Amino acid sequence: MEPLGVESEFTNIEELPKWSQTVAPDYEIVCNDPNVLDNCSFKLDDELNSKIIVWTGDITKLKCEAIVNSTSESFGDKSPLNQRIFAKAGPELKEEVRRNIKVCKTGDSKLTKAYKLPCRSIIHTVGPRYNIRYKTAAESALFNCYRSCLNLVREYNIRTISIPCIHSSRRGYPSYEGAHIAIRTIRRFLETYGSHVDSVAFVVAGEDDDVYNSLMPLYFPRNRDEAIFSAVHLPYDTGSRETGEPVIAERIIRIEGKPQRAHAPDFLTSVDINEVFETSVAVGRHPFSRPQANPDKRRTRPPMSTDQINAFNHHQFRYNQWIAKAKSEDLFQVERLRWLYHSGYDRRGRPVIVVIGKHFRPSVCNPEKAVMHVIRTMDSIVSKPFVVAYFHTKTERKHIPETGVVKETYNLLDNRYKKNMHAFYILHASLWTKIQSWFFSTFNVSEIKNRIVHIPGLEYLYSRIGPDQLDLPSFILEHDITVNGTRYYSPEQDQTIGLF
């Protein structure tokens, strides 16, 4: 007990504000689908919200039954948090680890006493190193970290627990991707075992504070408007409905009772792309007929009129319809082609979207399914700056979609795609492709013209995106060596290419 008038240096977890006590922002509802909440994976639940805390502070000063420590397999991790926990717990903790535990495998968790810390126990877990080539393994290991910690919570009847970010940036794990797995795993656990837990605190610091506060509404909505917002903006991959474990599409066994599937009602039925885009895709035969206005002049335009606002809302509503359709549609045959996918992060932490021209097959990727695949892949990424890397390597005319389809797809996407695209890199382009891209960007998408950058070879791209962040087919690497050889990179020339 502290002397009278002396404030304790420790913080009691039960005194921290719960997520249900925080104020949700005002949302502009642009989805009028009455079934959107029925189909949402994470429903409004005040009881669960009253158990969750997002707190910025020192986990070693938090009074609770258990804290989580993200460490290495040999417990010798040099992170400030791991060293602070061992230092404040005292030499007894190091001795217990040496004598009883010794090692802990990646994805596993071990429990020890807390000794001089204000908590009762410490749950040690080992987070994965992130490499885009082994993304699936990293996601599974990170899920196992959180799940094994929660299994110990059940086993030892722990009622209050504090969890830092196990997905460490020191190990290369992207903050947003790791936070999605962390939050949804806790949510699924509480849905099943919430009666056994009183409080779960996410202890965050630095940029993770913004990441968690921006993603929490998707999994723990606080009111009906936030639940609608979450239903529309949730990423396509939300893991299994039971545990939140990442789902690997290639391992799903698909069994169909009949060759022909019954049509679903409303907008889930087959869509005529000409009708949806409210124009004929034949406009692709005249790609230069409608040049856009000067972007500098558009900045001086007066506020939007009522008609313009209505048009904007209609556009948003139509885009949200496509999101809902994309999330419900089986796009396995399109995804397996791997012509457009998320591949790691560039050297400034921006997500990278890779497009492989040769892998695009119009016979499988008809315009409707191609649009749904683009939206489903990119919707959760484009809220912040991102880059696109397009590889024209060995691409033939049969792989290229009609110009009109490309333009109308671009017009369908909402403003986040255009505003937050930092750069569009083009590699291994032919002379005709360069001419086409110049005309198309000049007369059809002039607002992003200055972000289109032709890259002469992979070595120049590696100065912007690390090779360990690019999951590319082998024919691209072989072609680059054949065309450019080795040791062709010149830093001086790289500075003249354009954006980084």
Q: And the tokens for 334?
A: 């399109």
Most distant CA pair in the chain, distance:
83
The answer to whether 389 and 353 are in contact (CB under 8 A) is yes
Closest CA to 219 of 204, 199, 241, 197: 241
- Give the Cα separation of 256 and 436 in Å (integer): 43
Q: What is the pLDDT of residue 69?
A: 94
- Whether residue 78 is contained in a domain is answered as yes
| pLDDT tier at 263, thresholds 50, 70, 90 | very low
Q: Please tell me whether residues 320 and 217 are part of one structural domain.
A: no
- Whether residue 499 is contained in a domain is answered as no
- Whether residue 302 is contained in a domain is answered as no
Q: Please tell me whether residues 37 and 158 are part of one structural domain.
A: yes
What residues make up the domain containing 61?
Answer: 11-248
- Give the Cα separation of 260 and 293 in Å (integer): 47
Indicate if the pLDDT at residue 127 is higher than 80: yes
Among 68-72, 86-90, 268-272, 424-428, where is mean pLDDT lowest? 268-272
Q: Per-residue pLDDT averaged across 362-388, rounded?
A: 86
Q: Tell me the backbone φ, ψ of residue 294, rounded to 5 degrees.
A: -60, 125
- Whether residue 74 is contained in a domain is answered as yes
Q: What is the pLDDT of residue 125?
A: 95
Among residues 248, 267, 287, the one where a domain terminates is 248
Q: How many domains does the chain have?
A: 2
Q: Please tell me whether residues 227 and 326 are part of one structural domain.
A: no
Q: What is the pLDDT of residue 445?
A: 61
The answer to whether 220 and 49 are in contact (CB under 8 A) is yes
Q: Please tell me whether residues 123 and 216 are part of one structural domain.
A: yes
- Give the Cα separation of 401 and 97 in Å (integer): 60
Q: Please tell me whether residues 334 and 443 are part of one structural domain.
A: yes
Q: Taking CA 387 as the corner, what is the angle to CA 219 and CA 229, rounded to the nearest 5 degrees?
A: 25
Average pLDDT, the chain: 81
Which residues are CB-contacts of 484 (< 8 A; sequence separation ≥ 6)?
Answer: 456, 457, 458, 459
Among residues 248, 270, 289, the one where a domain terminates is 248
Q: Please tell me whether residues 77 and 154 are part of one structural domain.
A: yes
Q: Please tell me whether residues 327 and 234 are part of one structural domain.
A: no
- Give the Cα separation of 70 and 128 in Å (integer): 10
Query: What amino acid is encoded at 460 in this protein?
Result: Y
- Give the Cα separation of 1 and 263 in Å (integer): 68
The answer to whether 298 and 418 are in contact (CB under 8 A) is no
- Whether residue 337 is contained in a domain is answered as yes
> 159 or 448: whose pLDDT is higher?
159
- Please report how many Cα atoms fall inside a 13 Å half-sphere around the Cα of residue 282, on the Cβ side: 1
Element (H, E) at 440: helix 431-443
Q: Per-residue pLDDT averaged across 137-151, rounded?
A: 94
The answer to whether 426 and 390 are in contact (CB under 8 A) is yes
Q: How would DSSP label each residue in 127-158?
A: PPPP-GGGHHHHHHHHHHHHHHHHHHHHHTT-
Q: Residue 467 sits in a domain of what CATH number?
A: 3.40.525.10
- Whether residue 283 is contained in a domain is answered as no
Q: Residue 173 sits in a domain of what CATH number?
A: 3.40.220.10
Q: How do residues 165-216 score in pLDDT, each as one tens digit?
A: 998 877 888 888 899 999 999 999 999 999 999 999 999 988 888 889 989 9
Closest CA to 190 of 47, 64, 59: 47
Q: Please tell me whether residues 342 and 217 are part of one structural domain.
A: no
